[in-house]
Structure 1
C-alpha cells in the first residue's frame, strides 16, 4: 500500500512539503492519475520553505510497480508496491503541445512530508504492519495466561483460587505508565528501539491479562453450578475438559468482544505513550511518533498535515469496535 518504506532516502528538497492532490485531467485532457510537481523558494529571513504547485510539471502515478524493498507482513521479501512515484516527469510548455519527457523521478506525497522530508503516508502504513506483528505475539501470551487462570481459579476452589486472586491483585497494583517508564530505563541501552518495544510488549502481555481473568472467573463461578457442569464432574471429567467442552462455549462471546476491544486499547496506549516520548522513539515509526512532531501549536499552524495520523487512528479504532460487536453477536449462544 505504501509508495515508500521508512528506509526511503530523506529528501532535503521537500521538507514539510504539503500533501499533493491526485488529478485525472490536465488542461481538459485525460492524462490518468497524476500529481503536479512542486517548486519552492527559501525565505532567507524566516528560513521557511514556500511550496507552490507547478502545473506545467506532471508526475504520472505508476501502479503495481517495483520500488523499495520490504517484507510483506514479515513473511517474504518483495519490492512490488500498489502505487509508486513517477519515474519520468512530463513538462507541458504550451496548451495542446506534446510534453517534454525527462528521466527525473517524480514525487508522490499524498499526506505530505515531515521535518526530514520523509513520506508521512508510508511511515503510517509501515507502523501498522509492525504493530500487527507484535500484537499477535502479545495476544498469544495473554490468552495462554488467561487459560491458566481459568483452569486454576475459575473451577478449582479453596487455596488455589485464593492464591490466583492474590497474584492478580498484586499485578493490578502496578500503575501502567510508570511501569513503561521503568521498563524503558531497565532494558539494555544497546538494544535497538524496535527490540526495546518488543521487550516491553512481551512483559506487559504477562501483566495485562488480569482484567479479563477476573471477569472470566466470575462467569465460571456462575456456570459451574449449572446441572450440566455438575453432571460432567460426576461422570469423571477433568477440570480442563469441563472448562473447554462445557463452560467455555457459554461465555465465548464475552472473550471475543474483550479480545477485539483490547486491540484498540493497545493502539491508543502505544500512541499516547509514543506521543509523550515514553514509548517508541525515532527512527522507529509509529502513529504516536508522527503525532509527537505536532505537539507544538506553531508547527500545527504552519504544517497542519502533520495531524493527519489522527485520521487512521480513529478509523481503525472504530473498525475494531464494529468488528468485535459483529463477532460477539455471531458467537453468542443465547441468540
Structure 2
C-alpha cells in the first residue's frame, strides 16, 4: 500500500471511529483549528458516557442541596417517639383504580418479655399524600420563606409517613438524608476551595521559583503525605472543643480536612508550572517586563485551568468520605447537625442493623455521590489531557 493511499484512507478511518453521533464531528478543520481549549475539552468530555452520567448525577445532588427544604417531606427536626424504628412504608399511586398517592399507617406492639417491637400495617386505613402540600416552614435558597413540600402527607398534623423508615428517635430517614446532603456535599466544595488556594499558592511558588523555595515546600509536602491520614484526622478532630457550636465545628472539620488534603493538588500545580515556565511565550512575557504575578495570572494559570478543575473534582469525593468517616466515628459533625456520617452512626451496632437494616440507606447516598464524582472527575481529567484525545 502506497503512502498516498494511506493518506487518503486516514480521514475515513477517523470518521468510522468517531461515529455519526460524535460531538464536534460536524465541525470543519478550520473550526477545530480555532476552537478554544474549553470547547475542545467539552467535545472530548461528551464522548465519555460514564463521565456524562456522573456529571448528571452530581448536578442532581447539588440541586438537592439548593432545594432540600422543598424536596424533604419534613424538617430535619421532625420526629415521632411513637414510631421508633418504624419500617419503610410502601407508596401506592393508585387509589381504587384512580391516580392517588397514599400509604397504609403502621402501629407497633411490644413483646412484654423481650421488649421487642413488632410493626403491623393497617390495610383498612389510608394516609393520603399529595404533591406541593403544606408543611413545616423553611427558607428556599436561604432567602425565601416557604412551607410547600414536593411530597408529603395532606394532613401535616396527622399520621407521620416514613417512606424509607425511621431511626431510633422516630426521625424520618428520607427527610434527614435529604437535609444531610446539604452538609455533606458542601463540605466537599468548601474544603476543596480552601485546598485549592493553598495548593495554587505553594505549588505555584515551588514550580515557578524553584531552588531553595522548591526544596522547602516539597519537604513539607512529603512530610504531610507520609503521615497516615485517618489517624491524623481523628487526632485533630478529637482536639476540637466539645463546647463549640455546630457552625464552629462544621468549619473546624473543613479546615482540618483542607489543611491535610492540599498536598496532592499542590504537586500537580507544581508540575504544571515547571512544564510551562520555560516556554517561549513565558520568556517573551518576562522580556516584556511582566512580573511574577502577571506571569502566573495572565499567562500560566489559563494554560492548565482545566487540569486544576479536573483535579478538584477528584478531591471532592475524598473530602466527603473523610467527613463521613469522622462523623460515623463520632469525631466529626455531631447532632443536631445532620450529615450522612451522622445518620450512619447508629450503624455501628450490629443488632440495630439486624433489626432495622434501613438505617444503612444513607450509605447508598454516599456511594452514589462518590462514584458520580469519580466518574465525572476521570472524564474531565481525560478530556483536559491533550495526549489522551
TM-score normalised to structure 2 length: 0.74
CA displacement at 1:319 relative to structure 2: 1.8
For the residue of structure 2 that corresponds to 1:61, the secondary structure is strand
CA displacement at 1:108 relative to structure 2: 1.7
Aligned residues: 318
Counterparts of 1:228-267 in structure 2, within 5 Å, are 228-267=281-320
CA displacement at 1:20 relative to structure 2: 0.9
Do 1:73 and 1:129's aligned partners in 2 also have CA atoms closer than 8 Å? no
Change in CA separation of 1:178 and 1:77 when aligned onto 2, cut-off 3 Å = farther
Please, which of 78, 85, 96 is the counterpart of residue 16 of structure 1?
85
Change in CA separation of 1:326 and 1:64 when aligned onto 2, cut-off 3 Å = farther
Give the match for residue 36 of structure 1. 104
Distance, in Å, in 2 between the alignment partners of 1:16 and 1:69 is 25
For the residue of structure 2 that corresponds to 1:19, the secondary structure is coil
For the residue of structure 1 that corresponds to 2:73, the secondary structure is coil
For the residue of structure 2 that corresponds to 1:161, the secondary structure is helix
Please, which of 161, 165, 182 is the counterpart of residue 108 of structure 1?
161
CA displacement at 1:194 relative to structure 2: 4.2
Please, which of 216, 220, 226 is the counterpart of residue 167 of structure 1?
220
Change in CA separation of 1:170 and 1:330 when aligned onto 2, cut-off 3 Å = closer
Relative contact order, higher structure (CA 8 A, sep 6+): 2
CA displacement at 1:15 relative to structure 2: 0.6
Change in CA separation of 1:297 and 1:188 when aligned onto 2, cut-off 3 Å = closer
Do 1:252 and 1:332's aligned partners in 2 also have CA atoms closer than 8 Å? no
CA displacement at 1:293 relative to structure 2: 1.0
For the residue of structure 2 that corresponds to 1:308, the secondary structure is helix
Please, which of 157, 163, 179 is the counterpart of residue 210 of structure 2?
157
Distance, in Å, in 1 between the alignment partners of 2:329 and 2:194 is 27
Which has a greater percent of strand?
1
CA displacement at 1:197 relative to structure 2: 3.0
Give the match for residue 239 of structure 2. 186
Alpha-carbon RMSD across the aligned residues, in angstroms, is 2.4
Q: Does 1:6 align with 2:59?
A: no
Distance, in Å, in 1 between the alignment partners of 2:329 and 2:306 is 35
Distance, in Å, in 2 between the alignment partners of 1:190 and 1:150 is 36
Give CA deviations for 1:246-293 in whole Å, capped at 9, x if unaligned: 332333332122111111111111112222222222332222222221
TM-score normalised to structure 1 length: 0.85
Which has a greater percent of helix?
2
Please, which of 174, 177, 180 is the counterpart of residue 124 of structure 1?
177
Give the match for residue 59 of structure 1. 127
Distance, in Å, in 2 between the alignment partners of 1:73 and 1:333 is 39
Give the match for residue 94 of structure 1. none
Please, which of 94, 98, 103 is the counterpart of residue 25 of structure 1?
94
